[in-house]
Amino acid sequence: MDGSGGGAAAEGDLEAAEKLIMRWDSTASSAADERMIFDGADRSDAERYLRAVDELRRSIKDPVIVGSPRRSSSSSSHSSSENAIQIAMARLEDEFRNLLLTRANEVEVDALVDLSSLSLNSSASMDGYGDLSDAEGGGGGDGGGEGEAFSSDSVGASSSIRRSSIRSTRSIREIDLLPADAVDDLRSIAERMIAAGYGRECVQVYAGARKAAVDVCFRNLGVEKLSIGEVQRLEWDALEAKIRRWIRAARVCVRIIFASERRLCEHIFEGLGIADDAPFIETVKGASIQLFGFAEAISIGRRSPEKLFKILDLHDTISDLLPDIAVVFLSKSAESIYTQATEILSRLAEAVRGILSEFENAVFRDPPKTPVPGGTIHPLTRYVMNYISLISDYKPTLIELIVTRPSASSRFSGDDLAAAGAAVPELDFPVSENQTPLAAHLIWIIVVLEHNLENKANLYKDNALSHLFLMNNVHYIVHKVKDSPELREMIGDDYLRKLTGKFRLSATSYQRATWMRILHCLRDEGIHVSGSFSSGVSKSTLRERFKAFNAAFDEAHKTQATWYVPDTQLREELRISISEKLLPAYRSFLGRFRLHIENGRHPEMYIKYSVEDLEISLSDFFEGCAPSLHNRRRSH
């Protein structure tokens, strides 16, 4: 009797469960269609509905064949319980979707950008945010019931390893994508759908809703959907801006958005029998391919020197993110994303090495065309030295990437020499045992630059200007090396001293080319008539000497005032050096022979300058403009 009574009770419970399910059938009732069960503060409807689903599942020995909840419930091959369970699954699918869409927390992208750059040391606790070290008991439920299914006590060994790994990746910052009570409800629904054989439908609904949320974040971060071809066709200025935006977005996507999506997926599906992390992969795989596709397009694009530093920024960003990518995409089904990131990193490293080699060749090939006016610093010198100064700012990365020295056999290719119209040049390339491959490349670039500058110096018809040009340019090289501690350390003091000696030698060569000829006019030889100082002076010879000096100095003054030494200290040092040779020689010559000229006719035609006039005129030299006549005081 007890058995029959229990059976009747069970049959009564089953009938009540079926009625409850049918009452919420949205296809049969407009009232049921307008109202959601898992909506609002009243939890009693939701709890009763879940108990009814559990009752129906108990009444069916085996779950129905996996299929769409939308299949017709009128099939005669199904029992009333099977029909009811299909209706229930359709309803739970709607509830699942509604929770995902209506209860999602708003994601503030600007706040995420700041958050992605924080370390745990700088922020021990942040309300509403947390990394997985705070996630034990995840999602915030009140223990018990469904909430326990994703607490730290219930996760498996592999998940424990994952959580531990994420805790050790100090840059990951997870946020709550949904409130804790919504996560509890989603897990409760997922558990019933999966147990009833509707796991595929559950995953599809989940991935569709969360994929849309990820897409919104991507749009707000400025991550565009661009094909590899579209990326490679962009002008460099536009591409550079997109790279900056990508770096900002990538940190947020990996460390916050993707990591938070993984945690949400774990809280809802972990331990429910879903293969691997299918819901998470379905959610983010398209977005991750879109994200890393941009970096991949850069890594295989055309190499040119101006791209080096942005490619290094990309490399450093992906290298920095790689441990986080390994943690977030750690499953077998997600390893292709991690593999893609490592392959992109490898290609970016190869691109860096290729660009550096191309830059060296470009410096060598830069053709001598028109000489720069006034012998000033050549634009190539500025460009190259600014470039290698920036290279030194990336020293930690480049020391890892540049592992071979520029070898004698590979320094110039046949094409390079043909393009430059030259035979293999004999270049002085200093090698040191303690030199890193990166330092060797930087020195090699300077060596090649010097060689190119020497060719450009040959364009000047005036030999003195050629020396002044080399002095200016090598001095600029020395100045740039000294201004960068990192660059100076790599170049080394020995090579720096060698460069300093070169610009000083050029300065000396300039002075000889210009002033030896002028000082030659002030020699005593040929002025004394009989070879004895007391026996008389040849006034005609003396006049010719003064006239020659005046003409030579006038020409130097007129010409070399337009020459330019841009470094003020170097300009002043060069003037002082000239003054120290010219003024004493002229003062002595004028002192010995002035009276011989002044006692004759028209002395002003021969004694054109006083010592003070010369000193004033020398202040016009190397200013890069014609001399001002009013600055020169004439002597009579």
C-beta separation of 173 from 259 below 8 A: yes
Q: Tell me what pLDDT residue 123 has.
A: 33
Neighbours of 150 (CB within 10 A): 27
The pair of structure tokens assigned to 319 is 């290298």
Scored b (16 or more CB within 10 A) or e, 453-481 reads: bebbbeebebebbbbbbbbbbbbbbbebb
- What fold is seen in the domain 111-117+166-358? Monooxygenase (1.20.1280)
C-beta separation of 345 from 373 below 8 A: no
Q: For residue 153, what pLDDT band results from cuts at 50, 70 and 90?
A: very low
Q: Look up residue 175 and give its DSSP letter.
A: E
Q: Tell me what pLDDT residue 292 has.
A: 95
Identity of the residue numbered 497: R
Q: Tell me what pLDDT residue 1 has.
A: 47
Scored b (16 or more CB within 10 A) or e, 83-100 reads: bbbbbbbbbbbbbbbbbb
3-state helix vs strand vs coil in the chain, percent to 5: 70, 0, 30
Q: For residue 80, what pLDDT band results from cuts at 50, 70 and 90?
A: confident
Q: Tell me what pLDDT residue 122 has.
A: 33
Read off the pLDDT of each residue in 385-399 and give the average, rounded to a whole number.
Answer: 94
Scored b (16 or more CB within 10 A) or e, 515-540 reads: beebbebbeeeebbeeeeeeeebebe
Q: For residue 112, what pLDDT band results from cuts at 50, 70 and 90?
A: confident
Could you give the CA distance from residue 396 to residue 402 in angstroms, rounded to a whole number? 10
- Tens digits of per-residue pLDDT, 178-189? 999 999 999 999
The total number of residues shown for the chain amounts to 636
Could you give the CA distance from residue 170 to residue 168 in angstroms, rounded to a whole number? 6
Q: Tell me what pLDDT residue 595 has.
A: 80
Q: Tell me what pLDDT residue 338 has.
A: 93
What lies within 8 Å, CB to CB, of 146 at 6+ separation is 184, 187, 188, 191
Task: Give the Å distances, CA to CA, from 610 to 214, 269, 313, 540, 619.
Answer: 83, 98, 62, 21, 15
Could you give the CA distance from residue 561 to residue 624 in angstroms, rounded to a whole number? 6
Q: For residue 413, what pLDDT band results from cuts at 50, 70 and 90?
A: low
Burial of 11 (0-12, 13-18, 19+ CB in 10 A): exposed
Check residues 170 and 191 and name the one with the higher pLDDT.
191
Read off the pLDDT of each residue in 475-500 and give the average, rounded to a whole number.
Answer: 94
C-beta separation of 231 from 292 below 8 A: no
Q: For residue 606, what pLDDT band results from cuts at 50, 70 and 90?
A: confident
Chain mean pLDDT for the chain: 81
Looking at the DSSP assignment, which residues form a beta bridge with residue 564? 623
Boundaries of CATH 1.20.1280.170 in the chain?
A: 111-117+166-358
C-beta separation of 609 from 553 below 8 A: yes
Could you give the CA distance from residue 384 to residue 73 in angstroms, rounded to a whole number? 76
Cα dihedral 582, 585, 588, 593 in deg (nearest 10) = -90
Tell me which H or E stretch contains 172: none
Residue 130, SS3 per DSSP: strand
What lies within 8 Å, CB to CB, of 112 at 6+ separation is 175, 252, 256, 257
Neighbours of 278 (CB within 10 A): 18
